[in-house]
Chains A and B, each alone.
Chain A
């Protein structure tokens, strides 16, 4: 039992904007109206936020593990976690190790993370790693837009079957939702091609186009009633002029809800690397007029990182552009992935545009309930650098100083110099917690209301935004004080969120022959057993009628 008194509370889910309010937490780790006894934290003069929620990150599974193995040079220079009584050893850096990931997220006040790209084939591995990420609660999304068994159904016009196949895969992966990466493009990559045109048939298919995958998958997510809508990484990531593809893709949603991942990478104008510019204003306008869409920024910070994505063809291009090392994985008939270490430099015009574009989206999309803080960790920068982004959002004068250091040629290519908006603490609380929690359909997260999970963070009010958000005074997870005075006190095991969408009983019989024809493993060994998930938390599916 715990009582937090005297703090200025920012709880956007309940419209509380900086009022001084006491919070009470019961033995089950939930907020209640009052408690008898237990510890009291005097938070007078401090700021109380709901615990952070990361809607899009890559922290577990085959791809990030490959990235860890590929970047030993980073391990030598990075923060080392030495084992203590409450903490295991590990490494921070561009791709932190599992335990360190939990410590770093919690150390910043984040208490829920969503691993945004899991091939079903490596779902078992992903869950094992998620189990080793302490403190935070977790969810994972299954890669679906390049799964050949599913695409074959769409090609044949068997929409209902495709929906069943998706439902079967979701439960096989024990995941929380659907991620679509470069629809059709990763499949085409297996033929050495990409899918850049929404209306051109995908390599290896006669009729199926990326556009029709987007439309049908969005409908499938709604009809299965997934709490989180389709999580979409659009075609043509990173390419100059891709704004037309992105806007076209958004129209293919036909009014359905969706979450657009790391939209910074999809908001460029121009027709080549020399002419590339930011087109965030057009994209922001679309979001401002379509309230059922959400997005995360995928903001870029200057410095070293490692890029990992299921978008294999893009990664090959990036490797060719930079000459840096390249890893490529083929995941049988489900997806693929590519890994390239990368350094974002302010002197590089393309990188400078990317840096500005991420911030522009966060500032130009008017409703903070629609655009969330993310770097697409580790692609645009590492998650533990989020406080640096908050500083850029909250301090227009600091932003101006940073813009002044960009090359002169950047003039006319970005909108950021004209933007004067500054985030308030209330808006920060939406962008880092309440907003992503709502988008994920996790109603009991990012919310300090009665009955919700008691995940919260207490900051010392400080003009230095990076120091304030980088070093919370207390972090409380499910009612337990996990960080106090900058030290990890406890490292409890979080929950993992899953869904079990409705499946027709004959789906196993339908899948088995297709599966045995395509896969290198036994059908029976493929689905992840529920017992493998540590502390599973099953969320309801509520179908949205088509």
Chain B
């Protein structure tokens, strides 16, 4: 039986709830869970003030409610699952090293920031800085997968080092900013300055992108690795085209102002 949390009091200021992880909740009784400390702004309150809690001693968590102000859920989790029915706030799954997060709704900024491993699936939209490095840090996500069915905001995958981000809807400016590795797949393209300052890594876009002048066109091709990637992502309903009869990817390399060895692949049907 999973531990379920129903939001009963809507926080008026951000509620920092980094205790909502399978690692913390897993071994606790119902009363202990309700007594865990959360920060409502600067005030320390028991978790039970904000949530009705059912169940205990389980590494599967289910959250219900409209929670755009609830932050840090799943912070540094290493195992178990979190399922969220409703919307969730910033820093979801930040620093996580394992486990699974499913959100049936929208999520805020900084989801999966500096994560080391694990899986996050947002069925709605996400904010900016998905899988990014926090301000000042050298590296964003080191591994793991983030799938967003809807759109995402600014600086998606900023300074990411490894791992995969898939965004179904469009992303905003600076997608893959200062990227150091890993893969970003854009099913619906992005706004401007995609891949700015990218050092290494791959951005794949199925829609045309406005390329920066510091990216150089290299070739048209149907790389084999796309087939492997497509096979991994197929179970999530993601389809990456790569048949020569359908078209080809235009490869751009950059960002030459660094100078970087990153690559942007833009799908061109019928090319």
Contact = CB atoms under 8 A, between A and B. Distances in A.
Interface of A: 70-74, 76, 324
Nearest 9 interchain pairs by C-beta: A73-B136, A72-B136, A73-B137, A72-B135, A71-B136, A73-B134, A76-B134, A70-B136, A72-B134
Looking at A70, A72, A324, the one whose CB has the most chain B CB atoms below 10 A away is A72
Instruction: Assign chain B's interface to a size class.
Output: under 10
B233 interface: no
A71 B135 CA distance: 9
Looking at A70, A74, A76, A324, the one whose CB has the most chain B CB atoms below 10 A away is A76
B138 interface: yes
Interface string B98-140: 0000000000000000000000000000000000001111100
Contacts of A73: 134-138
Interface of B: 134-138
Contacts of B137: 73
Contacts of B136: 70-74
A377 to B, nearest CB: 20
Looking at B135, B136, B137, B138, the one whose CB has the most chain A CB atoms below 10 A away is B136
13 contacts: A70-B136, A71-B136, A72-B134, A72-B135, A72-B136, A73-B134, A73-B135, A73-B136, A73-B137, A73-B138, A74-B136, A76-B134, A324-B138
Nearest to A69: B136
Nearest to A324: B138
A137 to B, nearest CB: 33
Nearest to B139: A73
Contacts of B138: 73, 324
Contacts of B135: 72-73
Contacts of A72: 134-136
Given A72-B136, A73-B136, A73-B138, 7 more contacts: A70-B136, A71-B136, A72-B134, A73-B134, A73-B137, A74-B136, A324-B138
A70 B136 CA distance: 7
A72 B114 CA distance: 14
Nearest to B135: A72
A232 B136 CA distance: 33
Nearest to B199: A323
A324 B137 CA distance: 11
Contacts of A324: 138
A71 B138 CA distance: 11
A453 to B, nearest CB: 39
A446 B35 CA distance: 50
A254 to B, nearest CB: 46
A74 to B, nearest CB: 8
A35 B138 CA distance: 58
A70 B135 CA distance: 9
Nearest to A72: B136
A438 B138 CA distance: 43
A74 B136 CA distance: 8
A76 B136 CA distance: 10
